Structure 1
Amino acid sequence: MQLPDKKFVPVMITPFNLKAKVDLDAVSRLVDFYLAAGVKGFFANCLSSEMYSISEDERLDLTRHIVRYVKGRAPIVATGSFGLTIEDKADFTQRIYDTGIDAVILITGHYANVDDDDDVLMRNFDRMLKLTGDIPLGLYECPAPYKRILSAPVFEKLVATNRFVYHKDTSIELEQVKAKLAIAKNDPNLEFYDAHTPNAMHSLQMGARGMSSISGNFYPEILVWMCNNASNPDKQEEVKWLQAELSAVDPAIHVAYPMSAKYFLRKRGLPVRTISRAHALELTPQQKQTLDEIYDRFTGWCDKLDITPVNVEELMKPLIHLDPPI
């Protein structure tokens, strides 16, 4: 039986060096890691990338480096809606698109204030679309600066413009996800991704193109397996079991994120330092213990589902380790 192609698209973290500058060499190793895990796309310059804590030039340099290193092996999207005015946002959208990405993501909360109604949102989106020519665009209901969830009617109007090829949804409520998926199905060029790991099984079975959640910065192999098997009738017992496991640990991995992800990746052997510009506090001993326990559960998931974790040691052979392990 031919199952529909589903994608896991990680929201990439940004490694920093000891001077808290972007570590592009570690970014390359992360790309290798994600690809080895089976991901089918990348979301660069996103909230997980600490996009609000890096400069405009760093956003562009980081995205450009990822494009050059990936070399067309997978599509790449990146956030472009930065600037004080709509004109500023359109200008940065063009600049980041020129790095070679496949589509520019617009944060819904960048196009209306928290107390503005949807008419304001639509007017600003209309101006944005007119200023960005034929650049392929995407939508993301990012939690920052505040989470602007698109209602089904607003989402339908935006989809009807035929400008959007990507949507990252954070509705959380499955009925809202279902309503928007019904609209997304009317546009074959629009790819719908759920950001909420506890929704994974249901969203994928309802027709989402894939998942794009922070859990992929801990165990991307597991999310790839879920995308590949959520609709497989022969794997439903395992799918339901895994979904329960992922939902159980999901609240814990959000604590102190993205430091939690950097700790976890470092534990897996990647050269990612526990340095963050967005989260200044060190992880507490209890937080580390919780992540260690989740790591043990992750290895158990792999054993039960016959998943081979990425061999990070083999992947890192060309790299000289400058720091001792955790």
Structure 2
Amino acid sequence: MNNDEKKFVPVMITPFNLKATVDMDALNSLVDFYLAAGVKGFFANCLSSEMFSISEDERLEITKHIVKYVNGKVPVVATGSFGLTIEDKAKFTKKIYYTGIDAAIMITGHFANVEDGDDVLLRNFEKMFDLTGNIPLGMYECPAPYKRIISADVFKQLLSFNRLVYHKDTSIEHSQVKAKLDVLKSIGNNNLEFYDAHSPNAMFSLQAGAKGMSSISGNFYPEILVWMCNNATNPDKQEDVKWLQSEITRVDPLIHQAYPMSAKYFLQKRGLPIRTISRTFALELTPDQKKTLDDIHTSFLGWCDRLGIQPVI
């Protein structure tokens, strides 16, 4: 693989059937859709997957199914840090790693309470490293149970254990993103891949050295994020890159409304067999919300037309 290659990794949604159980056939269609769009990996069992609203068995079943269906075409990562104690989290991490994923992702908010200092977080991470052998691990500054942003200093200390291969950043502020990317550059030969979760940061983060993007916008228009990852550092495409970034930023607050139901509606509109059924969002989309998403779909088609992108569906 080209070390300079930028990658888009979608945070996968979970399709449900009319009984609100997992629709594996629709999940297959979703994987095919992402791959056709050019994604370079998958983040399964994440917040977009409604991981807090599915059972432990479902987390494992969905992840195992995705790994088998992807069949090695691209890497797959999934959240592993579930459980009351660090020992419990290590046990589940081993279970989900043995589904065949390439790395198990740790939610930073699972390793210290909101009132705890970084010393607690570092101590718990070190214990987790000890309990999980040589399993490749990653970090995710997930908004739930609360968003625990990792500072550049703590980031550097965690990297010193040589166990982390993946980081999904949600710090949003350019200064914080750059500080962590600077740590990576100072270390040199490090295996960690840095992904920004905030679509309005795409151009900045990719140009500052991030490996790629992993944002919810990929559940609406993954082709657009793939194009951005492929072209953000291309000197011949900077006018289009800046224009596209302004468009992505413009619609980003709108696609977050009623998410993940909004994504399921959008994908259904694009022709995927995805029902607008969610375990985390119980309300039906309002006519105004649907109209907003319809308008964004029109914008998406316009983006594709300007950039010469063929929409998958």
Q: Give me the TM-score of the superposition, normalised by structure 2.
A: 0.98
Structure 2 gap ranges (5+): none
The one-letter amino acid of 1:14's match is T
One-letter amino acid of the structure 2 residue matched with residue 148 of structure 1 = R
Aligned to 1:117: 117
Instruction: Give the equivalent residue in structure 1 for 2:22.
Output: 22
- Using the alignment, how far apart are the partners of 2:111 and 2:225 within structure 1? 31
The structural deviation recorded for 1:221 is 0.1
Residue by residue over 1:289-315, the C-alpha shift from the partner in whole angstroms, topping out at 9 and shown as x without a partner, is 0000000000000000000110x3xxx
- 1:166 alignment partner, SS class: strand
Q: Distance in 2 between matches of 1:282 and 1:122?
A: 42
1:191 touches 1:209 (CA, 8 Å); kept in 2? Answer: yes
Q: Percent identity?
A: 75
The C-alpha deviation readout for 1:238-293, integer Å capped at 9, x for no partner, is: 00000000000000000000000000000000000000001111111000000000
Matches within 5 A, 1:100-179: 100-179=100-179
Letter in 2 for 1:120: V
Equivalent residue pairs, number:
310
Q: Deviations over 1:168-209 (max 9, x none)?
A: 000100010000011123243110000000000000000000
The SS at the match of 1:156 is helix
Q: 1:110 to 1:263 in 2, by over 3 A?
A: same
Residue 297 of structure 2: aligned partner: 295
The one-letter amino acid paired with 1:203 is: S
Write the deviation string for residues 123-155 of structure 1: whole angstroms up to 9, x where unpaired: 111111100000000000000000000011101
Q: Which SS does the other structure have where 2:32 is aligned? A: helix
Q: Residue 104 of structure 1: SS of its match in structure 2?
A: strand
TM-score of the pair, normalised by structure 1? 0.94
Counterpart in the other structure of 1:32: 32
Aligned to 1:264: 266
C-alpha distance in structure 1 between counterparts of 2:202 and 2:163, whole Å: 26
Runs ≥4 residues deviating over 3 A:
none
Decide whether aligned partners of structure 1 residues 77 and 300 sit closer, same or farther in structure 2, where only a CA change above 3 A counts.
Answer: same
Higher deviation after alignment, 180-189 or 288-297 = 180-189
Aligned with 2:138: secondary structure? Answer: strand
Q: Would you say the 8 A contact 1:3–1:232 is kept in 2?
A: no
Give yes or no for contact 1:82–1:88 (8 Å, CA) kept in 2. yes
For the residues of structure 2 that align with 1:181 and 1:255, how far apart are their CA atoms?
30
C-alpha separation between the residues in 1 aligned to 2:123 and 2:284? 43
Q: List aligned pairs for 1:1-326, cutoff 5 A.
A: 4-185=4-185, 186=187, 187-310=189-312, 312=313
Deviations 1:14-73 (A, max 9, x none): 000000001111111000000000000000000000000000000000000000000000
Secondary structure of the equivalent of 1:48? helix
Q: Using the alignment, how far apart are the partners of 1:3 and 1:77 within structure 2?
A: 19
Partner-residue secondary structure (3-state), 1:116: coil
Q: 1:4, CA displacement in angstroms? A: 2.6
1:250 counterpart letter in structure 2: D
CA distance in 2 between counterparts of 1:26 and 1:9 reads 19
Contact (CA 8 Å) 1:15, 1:275: kept in 2 or not?
yes
For 1:77, what is the secondary structure of its paired residue?
strand
| Per-residue deviation, 1:3 | 9.6
